[in-house]
Homo-oligomer: A and B are copies of this chain.
């Protein structure tokens, strides 16, 4: 710690995240280039691969939005990928203006090889203790929602904005949440960041879900929900399994 006047906490957090971002971007370049691609092209490949299992084809506009680039840039990169035979463009049957994007066989191969640039970050994350990992995921999800709220990011398919998500439904500290779609309880460590089954919650439900999640399972009527005891998956709770019976009235 320093000789004085450290910047405010949020600023230091942002600076730290910026550093992670630098590592990520450098890793993207290194990996992509080894396969004759560029960082953006590899990112697109990775995005398409992640969505490959879903019926609805991704469109250029969505790619741009997800990657935070303009449509023009996305169009450029997609043309390059098409030229290299890694991506197939075909007219969307539903909309004559739109295009459906799909990986070719070669593209799928390239995506496997070069599309997983965040692997370096994942490696570093894997070195954290399980509890730290869960805590980090939880906090990252909160940040994502915050950015989304501010319009700084395209809507992500995260649990906290999903209609099926019931945070802190149960008292089991290891699995307090519930997904109504699969009907199973789970903990912070299982939160999704890009869930294929995500369905946006209507505004009111979204607000309610968020408040419950953010409060972190504090006693429901409490006036001072949190402030001190924020932590990993295993925050002790006052009483034991009363599960399934403590909805909001």
Q: How many copies, total?
A: 2
Residue numbers in B under 8 Å from A195 (CB-CB):
1-2
Determine how close the nearest CB of chain B comes to the CB of A65; give it in whole angstroms.
Answer: 10
Task: Please tell me which one of the listed residues B120, B133, B134, B235 contacts residue A150 in the complex, with CB atoms under 8 A apart.
Answer: B120
Residue numbers in B under 8 Å from A105 (CB-CB):
none
Q: State whether B136 touches A182 (Cβ < 8 A).
A: no
Determine how close the nearest CB of chain B comes to the CB of A99; give it in whole angstroms.
Answer: 22
Interface readout for A187-219 with B: 1 if CB under 8 Å, 0 if not?
Answer: 001111111110000000000000000100000
Of the listed stretches A23-31, A83-91, A106-114, A237-245, name the one at the interface; the rest are far from the partner chain: A23-31
Q: Whole-angstrom distance between the alpha carbons of A182 and B6 in the complex?
A: 13
Q: State whether A19 touches B153 (Cβ < 8 A).
A: yes
Residue numbers in B under 8 Å from A248 (CB-CB):
none
Residue numbers in B under 8 Å from A2 (CB-CB):
179, 182, 192, 195-197
Within 8 A of B (CB), among A126-158: 126-137, 139-144, 146-147, 150, 152-153, 156
Q: State whether A124 touches B146 (Cβ < 8 A).
A: yes
Is the C-beta of A72 less than 8 angstroms from some C-beta in chain B? no
Determine how close the nearest CB of chain B comes to the CB of A187; give it in whole angstroms.
Answer: 10
Q: State whether A142 touches B128 (Cβ < 8 A).
A: yes
Q: Which residue of B lies closest to A236 (CB)?
A: B229
Q: Whole-angstrom distance between the alpha carbons of A192 and B16 in the complex?
A: 9
Is the C-beta of A56 less than 8 angstroms from some C-beta in chain B? no
Residue numbers in B under 8 Å from A139 (CB-CB):
128, 132, 135-136, 139
Q: Whole-angstrom distance between the alpha carbons of A150 and B30 in the complex?
A: 14
Q: Whole-angstrom distance between the alpha carbons of A93 and B2 in the complex?
A: 29
In the complex, 14 of the A-B residue pairs with CB atoms within 8 angstroms, ordered by the A residue number, are A1-B195, A3-B182, A6-B192, A10-B125, A18-B24, A25-B68, A121-B143, A125-B143, A128-B139, A131-B228, A132-B142, A135-B135, A228-B234, A230-B232
